[in-house]
A and B are shown apart, each in its own frame.
Chain A
Amino acid sequence: MTYALWPEYSVVIGVFVTMIAVMVFNRRSIQAYWVGLATIVVSGIITIADWSSKSLPVALYGHAVTVDAFSLVVNGLVLVAAAGALMIGWNDKRYGPDFPVLVLLALLGMMVLGLANNFVVLFIGIELLSLPLYILAASRGTGESGEAGLKYLLLGAFSSGILLFGLALLYGASGTLVFTHLDPAHMILPLAGAGLALTVVGLVFKLGIVPFHMWIPDVYEGSPLPVTTYMAFGTKVGAAAILMRFLFFGFSLDAGWWGPALGYLAVLTMVVGNLLALAQKDLKRLLAYSGIANAGYLLVGISAHNMFGARALLFYLLPYGLAVLAAFAVIQFVAGERDSLSLDDLTGLAYRSPWLAAFLTVAMLSLAGIPLTGGFVGKFYLIQAALFANQPGLAIGLVVGAMVGLAAYVRPLQRAFSKAAGESSEPIRWPVAGSIVLVVAVVATIGLGVYPAPVVHIVNHSAAFYWLH
């Protein structure tokens, strides 16, 4: 008896219990949130228990899913993302009672993406991830939120279509649905090439790679804050994980097909994302463009196409996600009843609430990649990967992107640390659950920067793709 899939099963059960909690208790009650959080904790415990299990890696359902150390690390990451989003939006009446249910459902999709080894499971994961997020994006009803939801739905459906078409072509060209059974030597070539290209486009659409990034700023800006957090962290983890597994397991021998293309896209994304971040006045939009740029960093790990790249990508997701959690938690606190925050609203934050300013500083410096934060170690690992792959262009693109982005991340800090025009605003409320997320994220960000060795050990163990060099 293996417990390999029980992290996922426990989430399925958790979804039901959360639904029952919504139905049984008063609809605007807190119980559903507690059930959701308990589900995440239980699933996390099972994931940790699986980590030391001897029976892994294991392929189930005719190689449809593979549970290995890689999928468990992805599980861990998306669980952190879900817990963070749930707690930032803890019992917030604005988002409706379905919020925890939908968060859990999207979580399930992300977890499925971590272990998919089959086109069908891949597509189910993508849809399971996307559909709840469409609803969540629109969960503040009319206005910007509705617009975000609609845009996300239309463009998401569009990309799903492209993805599905690509998968169909690949199946037609190869005759198998399983990644690990794909043998590029025995494929109908033009068909397989088109299929691969369309599939990759569909996936990088979800990841938000330039030039498929147009939807991200509007959707991030319009969505409620906890949902934006979730999208910025969880979706990126899921999309990056499946893109890597698809390419590294299915097309590893033919990296020449996709490696250079993704490399150019990565450099373009890093530079363009950071450049556009520079011009933003709204903090959520700024972080949206930062998310685009960070997707470019993730792509560096994929296009490096070596073991270092896989590990660096997996490592980088954690400090990136933690910084996103911290930054969005700060925005949520400062914004209060509002749903967005301009850079000018930050002015004088250091005098209104020195701790929030300090936490924002840590988050922004981590995104900028300053040492003693996790973001630096992640970028360092990515540069290592690029240079080990003998691709200095990727490394230089990364640092050029980081340079451009630096000014974008530092501008909010300068606002926060300069004196306000004089009007004394109301004191900032610290919701308990959000504060826990914030403090944990900030402490973990610094911890990752000061002593990353344990996490490096974990990712090195989990991305031990022996067929790469």
Chain B
Amino acid sequence: MFLVWLMAVPLAGAIATLIAPKEVSKAIAAITSLVGLVGYAGLLFISRAGIDWAWIPQWGIRFHLVSDGLSLFLLGLSAVLFVVAVFASDAHAGRAYYFWLLVLSFSVVGLFAAVDLFVFYVFWEVLLIPVFFLLTGWSGERGKKAAMKWLIMNLVGSFFMLVGVVALAVIHNQNGGGLTFEISQLSGMSMSAGVASWLFFAFLVAFAIKAPLWPLHGWMPDAYGESPAPVTAIISGVLSKAGIYGILRVMIPIFMPQFREYQTLLLIVATAGLVYGALMALRQQDMKMVTAYGSLSHMAMMALGIFSLTSVGLLGTTFYMVAHGLMVGGLFLVLGMLENRTGTRTIQDMAGLNRSAPRLAAYFLFFVLGTLGLPGLPGFAGEYMIIQGLIASHVVFAVIAGFILIVAAWYMLRVFQAVMQGPARTTAIKDLWSRQVAWLVPLAGLVILIGIWPAGITAHAVPSLYHAMHFALGKGGVH
């Protein structure tokens, strides 16, 4: 029941923004997201909160939401990032902006908590719509094109996934198990290898597009480049995790044999994405695009953790999703502030800004270091676990991943060095306002907290990871 309230709060807030006068939209959104955050804090004390209502009983669809170790911290990630994104947003963005932001928050909660495949799919698609309108209405010149690309690419993937969802239920029914969309019941189902492979790729493509994973990242450059900073932070911090989360939540329990069959292929593709993202990040002159391609590379890293098919790799991905979300969200917001102050995103146009804005430079450096995986910050722990998993399964890919970590340091520090250090060529900019510091401090604090205490997440995640993957583990596929 608690989860329903957690979903109802942003929805109520969204409706409130429509009714209330334009001036208080941001206040409503801020209050709503803070209430959501407090509610989430309450959720931490309830182990395995969940509801299980009959939704469409004729088709065996149940409104089944659960917050277990897999979803709990992603719910937390979205709660935190939505608060931060609302605070970082333009107060004059208008009521529709906050309406869509809150609708997005609502659907993200539903997505991360769903364990019924139908419910999962519903929220999976619903969250495309608010992003589409946010990109259409509040982004740069090419925002409309970006929005179209976002919507169409994602829906192309998810429509095939829809056929997959129904096919799984129908096969389960034909096997004599009755019509159900419950992931735990669909797992370990017997189906012919050919059908299973088709379904496997239908799901994988949908998830890979959302993440995005190379080579299905076509929507990413436009969407990241054109959207306002808070929206970019949400997309890269929260929504991209939905793709990886989907692989963990849906595909691992159902398609373990296919994962094993195609493991080498998947590892090769993910590694190619890792290298591609890093090399593209090195080439960019736009600091936001550097981060975007860096993020693409990191998403590939998470995929590698899953495709290693080891429990430590999966755990690493689970942890790294939360860590990366917080850090890349923060980084995009800092970049947004920088862009607001300088009016440009091109690296060459800026230099030596740390003189006039030392606090901004400090936060920038903090998130850059976190993203490149400095020990003590959470990126390190996640990457460590993923590489550990890769060593256990295929050591070649571990070596490549380790090499790419060096490149990551290179491209991230290149941006920082060029923008913040060196002689002050550009005009001085204003430093952070105290209100901006007010929400950056808790975010940074949270990053440090999970950086020095990863067990806070992993200890929770391990049991439910094992629970969600009992089938895979039971078959001895995971070392």
Q: Are chains A and B touching in the complex at the 8 Å CB cutoff?
A: yes
Give A286 to B11 CA distance when docked, in angstroms.
Answer: 32
Q: Confirm or deny: A457 has a beta carbon within 8 angstroms of a beta carbon on chain B.
A: yes
Which residues on the B side are within 8 Å of A418 (C-beta)? 136-137, 144
Of all A-B residue pairs in the complex, the 8 with the closest CB atoms, nearest first, are: A371-B122, A399-B159, A387-B170, A371-B125, A383-B166, A456-B58, A453-B56, A395-B163
Check B56–A417 contact: CB distance below 8 A: no
Give A384 to B117 CA distance when docked, in angstroms.
Answer: 14
Give A383 to B148 CA distance when docked, in angstroms.
Answer: 25
Which residues on the A side are within 8 Å of B147 (C-beta)? 414
Per-residue 0/1 for A353-378: is the Cβ within 8 Å of any B Cβ (1 yes, 0 no)?
A: 01000000000010000111000110
Number of residues from A at the complex interface, CB < 8 A? 34
Give A361 to B136 CA distance when docked, in angstroms.
Answer: 13
Check A371–B56 contact: CB distance below 8 A: no
Give A350 to B95 CA distance when docked, in angstroms.
Answer: 12
Check A457–B58 contact: CB distance below 8 A: yes
Which residues on the A side are within 8 Å of B125 (C-beta)? 370-371, 376
Which residues on the B side are within 8 Å of A354 (C-beta)? 96
Q: Closest B-chain residue to A383, C-beta based? A: B166
Q: How far is the CB of A238 from chain B (nearest CB, A)?
A: 26
List chain B positions with a Cβ less than 8 A from chain A.
54-59, 96, 118, 121-123, 125-126, 128-129, 132-133, 136-137, 144, 147-148, 151-152, 155-156, 159-160, 162-163, 166-167, 169-170, 173
Check A417–B136 contact: CB distance below 8 A: yes
**Partner pick for A414 among B96, B121, B148, B166, CB 8 A cutoff:** B148
Give A417 to B96 CA distance when docked, in angstroms.
Answer: 10
**Partner pick for A371 among B96, B126, B166, B167, CB 8 A cutoff:** B126
Give A377 to B61 CA distance when docked, in angstroms.
Answer: 12
Check B166–A380 contact: CB distance below 8 A: yes
Check B155–A371 contact: CB distance below 8 A: no
Q: Closest B-chain residue to A381, C-beta based? A: B59
Check B129–A365 contact: CB distance below 8 A: yes
Give A12 to B59 CA distance when docked, in angstroms.
Answer: 40
A387 with B166, Cβ < 8 A, contacts A370-B125, A410-B151, A460-B58 known: yes
**Partner pick for A372 among B56, B59, B122, B144, CB 8 A cutoff:** B122
Check A453–B57 contact: CB distance below 8 A: yes
Q: Closest A-chain residue to B122, C-beta based? A: A371
Stretch binding the partner chain, chosen from A34-42, A124-132, A338-346, A400-408: A400-408
Give A460 to B118 CA distance when docked, in angstroms.
Answer: 20
Give A400 to B123 CA distance when docked, in angstroms.
Answer: 21
Check B58–A403 contact: CB distance below 8 A: no
Check A370–B126 contact: CB distance below 8 A: yes
Q: Confirm or deny: A388 has a beta carbon within 8 angstroms of a beta carbon on chain B.
A: yes
Which residues on the A side are within 8 Å of B136 (C-beta)? 413-414, 417-418
Q: Confirm or deny: A193 has a beta carbon within 8 angstroms of a beta carbon on chain B.
A: no
Check B58–A383 contact: CB distance below 8 A: no
Q: Confirm or deny: A58 has a beta carbon within 8 angstroms of a beta carbon on chain B.
A: no
Q: Closest B-chain residue to A398, C-beta based? A: B163
**Partner pick for B162 among A399, A407, A452, CB 8 A cutoff:** A399
Check B96–A350 contact: CB distance below 8 A: yes
A383 with B144, Cβ < 8 A, contacts A365-B129, A406-B151 known: no
**Given A354-B96, A371-B122, 14 extra CB contacts under 8 A:** A371-B123, A379-B162, A380-B166, A383-B162, A384-B170, A387-B166, A387-B167, A399-B160, A399-B163, A402-B159, A403-B156, A403-B159, A406-B152, A410-B152
